[in-house]
């Protein structure tokens, strides 16, 4: 048995690879085109196949050669504003290529699929916390490209007899607590990453979009999940499927919201550095609050170990610092 991790050289995928290796029970192969990932994010014992998830000959050969029984599909384009500017590019990268990958997996008899989805499939939910059975209503091409992939996977599973877990991530943050990997893409837009860059003097200031939302301090409320905890949710999902469990769609978050301004305060306190914060008008399409109802994944046996926001910020700072030193080499 072996797991094929697509996008395993990226931020979340590289943490998944470590989670599997740390759990000690899997052979892991990564397929990544290195468009936003880094080969150095992987431990040397992991085989990296450099290529595209839609290259059906390459994927089929990889599945056969390694006896892959499970696929964890992380590879995607992930920047919401880019998806608005280039919707056809996003539907191609995220939906069309996922279709090709799943077709290959079906042909080659892969038994289980774990898919990286997103809270963006909920759009602007008016329910807090958000349950998985809320009708999905994405408001941008990124969210729609992911929701279409969810539907394809569910339909193909029914027709062809594999099982799947779809994980809808809320706001992913932090880095491997042992400093082995972290978020390395230079133009990431995630709040905690951007705030740590401001604290380290790599950005002149930080923009906050909207301070008149109906939340305690007027800024948006989000559910930040630490990336190693998220990776561990995938490991739990994989065990569930391999033990004969049914297909599921599950939120991944802690069920606790922090406001943008609270996060900025934590970054300033933990780093001991002040930086300029500019209060800007709201951006279209930002819901006031999104917090996960996360009972399903917890009921599967997932126990978060890194939910403390100070710790998440400290990891992000340490990783950003290490990344700066690496980039100077
Ligand atoms: N980062 C978040 O906050 C977040 C939130 C919700 C969902 N997700 C989902 O998690 C997954 C991983 O996101 P991430 O933050 O690690 O992004 P990332 O950009 O760091 O990782 C994506 C990886 O996929 C690779 N890749 C992209 N297209 C490919 C292709 N066609 N063939 C092979 N490899 C390809 C990239 O090189 C990269 O290594 C994505 O599916 C994303 O939609 C991320």
* CB 9 less than 6 A from any atom of ligand 1: yes
Closest CA to 138 of 129, 149, 128, 154: 149
How does pLDDT run across 53-95, given as a tens digit for each residue?
999 999 999 999 999 999 999 999 999 989 999 999 999 999 9
Residue nearest atom 34 in ligand 1 by C-alpha distance: 32
- In contact, 260 and 222? CB cutoff 8 Å: yes
Q: Which ligand 1 atom lies nearest to the CA of residue 55?
A: 32
What residues are annotated to the active site?
142
How does pLDDT run across 256-296, given as a tens digit for each residue?
999 999 999 999 999 999 999 999 999 887 889 999 999 99
* Span from the CA of 99 to the centroid of ligand 1 (angstroms): 16
* Cα separations in angstroms, 227 against 174, 224, 230, 273, 298: 6, 9, 5, 24, 16
User: What mean pLDDT, rounded, does the chain reach?
Assistant: 96
Q: Is the pLDDT at 308 greater than 80, yes or no?
A: yes
Q: What is the pLDDT of residue 257?
A: 96
Residue nearest atom 32 in ligand 1 by C-alpha distance: 52
Place 312 in a pLDDT band, splitting at 50, 70 and 90: very high
* CB 52 less than 6 A from any atom of ligand 1: yes
CATH class for the region spanning 191-222+255-328: alpha beta
How does pLDDT run across 229-249, given as a tens digit for each residue?
999 999 999 999 999 999 999
User: Would you kindly state where each structural domain of the chain is located, as residue ranges?
Assistant: 2-173+224-252, 191-222+255-328
**What DSSP string runs through 218-248?**
SS-EE-EEEHHHHHHHHHHHHHHHHTTPPPE
List, in sequence order, every residue forming a beta bridge with 278; answer none if it has no partner: 207
Cut 0.85: pTM above it: yes
CA–CA distance, 112 with 317 (Å, rounded to integer): 36
Topology adopted by domain 2-173+224-252: Rossmann fold (3.40.50)
CA–CA distance, 229 with 167 (Å, rounded to integer): 13
Residue nearest atom 2 in ligand 1 by C-alpha distance: 172
- In contact, 77 and 220? CB cutoff 8 Å: no
CA–CA distance, 58 with 171 (Å, rounded to integer): 32
Q: What is the pLDDT of residue 287?
A: 86
SS3 for 260-295, per residue? Answer: HHHHHHHHHHHHCCCCEEEEECCCCCCCCEECECCH
CA atoms within 13 A on the CB side of 13: 35
Q: Which helix (H) or strand (E) element contains residue 166? A: strand 163-169
Q: What is the pLDDT of residue 191?
A: 95
* CB 219 less than 6 A from any atom of ligand 1: no
- Hey, do 2-173+224-252 and 191-222+255-328 end up sharing a CATH topology, with the first three levels equal? no
């Amino acid at each position: 048995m072996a797991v094929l991790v697509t996008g395993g050289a990226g931020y979340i995928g590289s943490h998944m690879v470590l989670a599997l290796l740390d759990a000690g029970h899997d052979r892991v192969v990564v397929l990544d085109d290195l468009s936003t990932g880094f080969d150095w994010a992987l431990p040397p014992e992991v085989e990296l196949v450099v290529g595209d998830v839609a290259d059906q000959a390459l994927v089929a050969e990889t599945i056969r050669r390694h006896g892959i029984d499970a696929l964890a599909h992380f590879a995607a384009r992930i920047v919401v504003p880019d998806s608005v500017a280039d919707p056809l590019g996003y539907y191609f990268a995220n939906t069309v290529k996922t279709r090709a990958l799943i077709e290959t997996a079906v042909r080659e008899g892969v038994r289980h699929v774990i898919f990286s989805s997103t809270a963006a499939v909920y759009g602007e939910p008016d329910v807090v916390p958000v349950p998985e059975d809320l009708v999905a209503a994405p408001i941008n091409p990124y969210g729609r490209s992911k929701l279409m992939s969810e539907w394809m996977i569910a339909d193909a599973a029914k027709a062809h007899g594999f099982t799947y877990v779809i994980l809808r991530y809320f706001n992913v943050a932090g880095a491997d607590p042992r400093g082995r990997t972290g978020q390395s893409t230079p133009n990431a837009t995630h709040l905690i990453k951007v705030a740590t860059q401001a604290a380290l003097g790599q950005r002149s200031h930080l923009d906050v979009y909207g301070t008149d939302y109906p939340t305690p301090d007027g800024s948006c409320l989000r559910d930040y999940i630490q990336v190693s905890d998220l990776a561990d949710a995938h490991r739990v999902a994989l065990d569930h499927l391999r033990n004969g469990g049914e297909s599921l769609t599950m939120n991944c978050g802690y069920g606790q919201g922090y406001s943008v301004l609270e996060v900025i305060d934590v970054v300033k306190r933990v780093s001991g550095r002040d930086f300029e914060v500019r209060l800007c008008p709201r951006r279209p399409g930002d819901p006031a609050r999104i917090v996960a109802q996360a009972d399903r994944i917890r009921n599967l046996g997932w126990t978060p170990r890194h939910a403390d926001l100070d710790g998440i910020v400290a990891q992000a700072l340490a990783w950003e610092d290490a990344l700066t030193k690496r980039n100077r080499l």
